Chains A and B, each alone.
Chain A
């Protein structure tokens, strides 16, 4: 691919021809404010926050979906651009509800950040209010049409990242709305939830449990399968109140499946087994680790001695690490002496 040279805010930079102005600016270390743009998706170009001036063109252009050209000179910040961005934000705010105090996204909301950054102190425009109630998109995801800014990140993520296309826009103009067009296809993976820049899509499990800045975020590996997805457990008062992801972390780069994103309640569940149980006289009774391990070892030795190693079969869990599973099959094959070993992920 051939390279082109352009100037961004006086900085000369050479990038490959297929880059957009936004990508070139990032390489040059120039920040262009964005709202609908997401690195893992194709440019959407709905929010007009990334407008830049290109010398020789009268109209400002969206940096996220304009390709670089050789020799162009780009200005990313000027009085006019600042006002255009302010106005774009004001138009987004026209029908935004006064929900920040009760919105789960408050504090990590891109819209809030931009409104504060651009110092918007009043919205002069008014629009007829649309009374749209929040509805459950699925039992795990809630959709708040009022808070939606129609950036279309969720629709794009569902189509491009997950290749499902369960949601799409219906209606047109001011009345358009994101709806579930193929509810049967939706797996509640929460990809839409994760990319939503505002609180239009929220998680049902961790509603009202804590503001983002009071919970601690602990980066860890998902325990469900061997993929090794990276996720952040949101911890408040030593209990997990939610799962978030970071776009730059791990093989999953921010994506999770329904189990990883929503299946964290077992961690603090009362029904969780924390002590070994031994069945005595048909009833489970709590036992110490020494007693339980001695029983298992004794019984395994006994069976192996009486009926041979092939009388024993072993099933391991996908929720163990690779190393643990390796040791487990080694133990079954080398110590017990049978090949009757399997793993729940193969079932």
Chain B
């Protein structure tokens, strides 16, 4: 009897289709995968540790660099956690703008996912269209904050400043445009015979397994579990909006694809409702210990100047305590755990990264498949290494 021999193959960390610097050690029996060991950490920057030496407002730009494909959502998760620790509610106008920015970021993340997912599997056309449309969101970000990819526009207690008329104009243009573009994406892939053959029945995960592995977001919903933090535990005025949570049936790559394609539409619906019903009012919480005073005040009033000095140089006054808050990120449930020790810097910040948990489910998804399916499955769970390694 011939001895069973397996081959070990290193995939990554510089493989273009592992969505960042992920290294997979694959054990192959012929072309079939028998064992997978993900190696992570190549993109580790120590964001959680750096956060301990920065004040609560200064940490916001760090969070942009977690899942950099959908930066504003990370800002939202972080800011809401600090606000929970402070026990403050942000004004409704700020909540709506946050929702718009968050949903735009979600679409931006899905654009990058769709383009690169298809590109990885050889469908090169798609990426040109998704990146064309992603550019429109970048322009919105630039108009609002000056930054295109990492806006850092949210603040603890609201948003940095009020929106501009141009912002509303650009968002409306985008809301009008995206459904048409979406039809185009569907034409390229949904009924494409090659696409269907590469994705249907590949990387199947049952609802039970998906829940047990802690998968969240579109990857969980592709298996038919309708869990979405926006619906389950509404935050930032999400209960004001009418939208659906799309779910799949089979839990394979194709269903996860369909779920995300439908999420484009739902996000556009939310943005449309938010921009049309944008309430008037302030965009920062009226709390002298948290919000920066306006520049006009600072130039005239010593107490405003002192507040600005203290908030900028030392950070907002945050009480002692520990708190966890999670939001629906573009990849799944993004949670922040903060321990405050009464100073203006957190004692500990821990990020519950949806991508990290999705990566831990990779062996389950990959074993038994052909080596070519690795690309399709990694693409379908849509991981971002910036968030896994932190």
Using a CB–CB distance below 8 Å, which chain A residues touch chain B? Answer: 90, 93, 96-98, 100-101, 106-107, 111-113, 115-117, 119-123, 211, 213
CB of B302 within 8 A of CB of A93, answer yes
Interface size of B by CB at 8 A reads 20
Q: Give 9 closest A-B pairs by Cβ, nearest first.
A: A121-B288, A119-B288, A116-B310, A120-B303, A100-B309, A115-B306, A96-B302, A93-B302, A112-B306
Closest Cβ–Cβ distance, residue B283 to chain A (whole Å)? 17
Residues of A within 8 A of B289 (CB): 116, 119
CB of A112 within 8 A of CB of B309, answer yes
Contact residue among A97, A101, A115 (Cβ-Cβ distance under 8 Å from B303): A115
Contact residue among B287, B302, B314 (Cβ-Cβ distance under 8 Å from A98): B302
Number of residue pairs A-B, CB distance < 8 angstroms: 58
Residues of A within 8 A of B178 (CB): none
Residues of B within 8 A of A96 (CB): 302
B307 within 8 A of A: yes
Residues of B within 8 A of A112 (CB): 306, 309-310
Given A121-B288, A121-B307, does the pair A213, B313 have CB atoms closer than 8 Å?
A: yes
CB of A123 within 8 A of CB of B303, answer yes
Q: List 29 A-B contacts (CB under 8 A).
A: A90-B303, A93-B302, A93-B303, A97-B302, A98-B298, A98-B299, A98-B302, A100-B302, A100-B306, A100-B309, A101-B305, A101-B309, A107-B313, A112-B306, A115-B306, A115-B307, A116-B288, A116-B307, A117-B317, A120-B303, A120-B306, A121-B288, A121-B293, A121-B303, A121-B304, A121-B307, A123-B301, A211-B313, A213-B314
Question: Which B-chain residue is minimally distant from A107 (CB atoms)?
Answer: B313
Closest Cβ–Cβ distance, residue A103 to chain B (whole Å)? 9
Residues of B within 8 A of A119 (CB): 287-289
CB of B314 within 8 A of CB of A122, answer no
Question: Which B-chain residue is minimally distant from A213 (CB atoms)?
Answer: B313
User: CA of A111 to CA of B309 in the docked complex: distance in angstroms?
Assistant: 12
Contact residue among A90, A107, A122 (Cβ-Cβ distance under 8 Å from B304): A122
Closest Cβ–Cβ distance, residue A120 to chain B (whole Å)? 4
User: CA of A93 to CA of B302 in the docked complex: distance in angstroms?
Assistant: 7
User: CA of A113 to CA of B313 in the docked complex: distance in angstroms?
Assistant: 12
Contact residue among A90, A100, A107, A113 (Cβ-Cβ distance under 8 Å from B305): A100
User: CA of A120 to CA of B289 in the docked complex: distance in angstroms?
Assistant: 9
Residues of B within 8 A of A93 (CB): 302-303
Residues of B within 8 A of A120 (CB): 288, 303, 306-307
Residues of A within 8 A of B287 (CB): 119
Residues of A within 8 A of B305 (CB): 98, 100-101
Question: Which A-chain residue is minimally distant from B313 (CB atoms)?
Answer: A107
User: CA of A112 to CA of B306 in the docked complex: distance in angstroms?
Assistant: 6
CB of B317 within 8 A of CB of A116, answer yes
Residues of A within 8 A of B301 (CB): 122-123
Residues of A within 8 A of B288 (CB): 116, 119-121
User: CA of A115 to CA of B288 in the docked complex: distance in angstroms?
Assistant: 10
Closest Cβ–Cβ distance, residue B266 to chain A (whole Å)? 40
- Other CB < 8 Å A-B pairs besides A112-B310, A115-B306, 17 of them? A90-B303, A93-B302, A93-B303, A96-B302, A98-B299, A98-B300, A106-B309, A107-B314, A113-B310, A116-B288, A119-B289, A120-B288, A120-B303, A120-B306, A121-B288, A123-B302, A213-B313
Question: Which A-chain residue is minimally distant from B293 (CB atoms)?
Answer: A121
User: CA of A213 to CA of B313 in the docked complex: distance in angstroms?
Assistant: 9
User: CA of A63 to CA of B299 in the docked complex: distance in angstroms?
Assistant: 35
Residues of B within 8 A of A97 (CB): 302
User: CA of A90 to CA of B302 in the docked complex: distance in angstroms?
Assistant: 10
User: CA of A120 to CA of B307 in the docked complex: distance in angstroms?
Assistant: 8
Interface centre among A100, A106, A123, by most chain B C-beta atoms within 10 angstroms, is: A100
User: CA of A315 to CA of B363 in the docked complex: distance in angstroms?
Assistant: 80
Interface centre among B302, B305, B309, B314, by most chain A C-beta atoms within 10 angstroms, is: B302
Question: Which B-chain residue is minimally distant from A92 (CB atoms)?
Answer: B302
Question: Which A-chain residue is minimally distant from B308 (CB atoms)?
Answer: A100
CB of A116 within 8 A of CB of B313, answer no
Residues of B within 8 A of A100 (CB): 302, 305-306, 309
Residues of A within 8 A of B293 (CB): 121
Closest Cβ–Cβ distance, residue B208 to chain A (whole Å)? 52
Residues of B within 8 A of A111 (CB): 306
User: CA of A120 to CA of B305 in the docked complex: distance in angstroms?
Assistant: 11
Residues of B within 8 A of A123 (CB): 301-303
Closest Cβ–Cβ distance, residue A95 to chain B (whole Å)? 9
Residues of B within 8 A of A98 (CB): 298-300, 302, 305
Residues of A within 8 A of B302 (CB): 93, 96-98, 100, 123
Residues of A within 8 A of B303 (CB): 90, 93, 115, 120-123
CB of B304 within 8 A of CB of A116, answer no
User: CA of A112 to CA of B312 in the docked complex: distance in angstroms?
Assistant: 13
Closest Cβ–Cβ distance, residue B292 to chain A (whole Å)? 11
User: CA of A119 to CA of B301 in the docked complex: distance in angstroms?
Assistant: 14
Question: Which A-chain residue is minimally distant from B300 (CB atoms)?
Answer: A98
Residues of B within 8 A of A213 (CB): 313-314
User: CA of A47 to CA of B232 in the docked complex: distance in angstroms?
Assistant: 53
Residues of B within 8 A of A121 (CB): 288, 293, 303-304, 307
Closest Cβ–Cβ distance, residue B44 to chain A (whole Å)? 28
Instruction: Produce 1/0 per residue, B282-295, CB < 8 A to A.
Output: 00000111000100
Closest Cβ–Cβ distance, residue B249 to chain A (whole Å)? 55
User: CA of A204 to CA of B90 in the docked complex: distance in angstroms?
Assistant: 45
Question: Which A-chain residue is minimally distant from B309 (CB atoms)?
Answer: A100
Residues of B within 8 A of A115 (CB): 303, 306-307
User: CA of A119 to CA of B293 in the docked complex: distance in angstroms?
Assistant: 12
Residues of A within 8 A of B317 (CB): 116-117
User: CA of A181 to CA of B136 in the docked complex: distance in angstroms?
Assistant: 70
User: CA of A107 to CA of B304 in the docked complex: distance in angstroms?
Assistant: 15
Residues of A within 8 A of B304 (CB): 121-122
User: CA of A12 to CA of B301 in the docked complex: distance in angstroms?
Assistant: 42
Question: Which B-chain residue is minimally distant from A115 (CB atoms)?
Answer: B306
User: CA of A297 to CA of B313 in the docked complex: distance in angstroms?
Assistant: 57
User: CA of A93 to CA of B300 in the docked complex: distance in angstroms?
Assistant: 12
Closest Cβ–Cβ distance, residue B123 to chain A (whole Å)? 53
User: CA of A324 to CA of B289 in the docked complex: distance in angstroms?
Assistant: 53
Closest Cβ–Cβ distance, residue B296 to chain A (whole Å)? 12
Tell me the chain B residues, 293-348 only, with Cβ under 8 Å from chain A.
Answer: 293, 297-307, 309-310, 313-314, 317
Residues of B within 8 A of A122 (CB): 297, 301, 303-304
Question: Which B-chain residue is minimally distant from A121 (CB atoms)?
Answer: B288
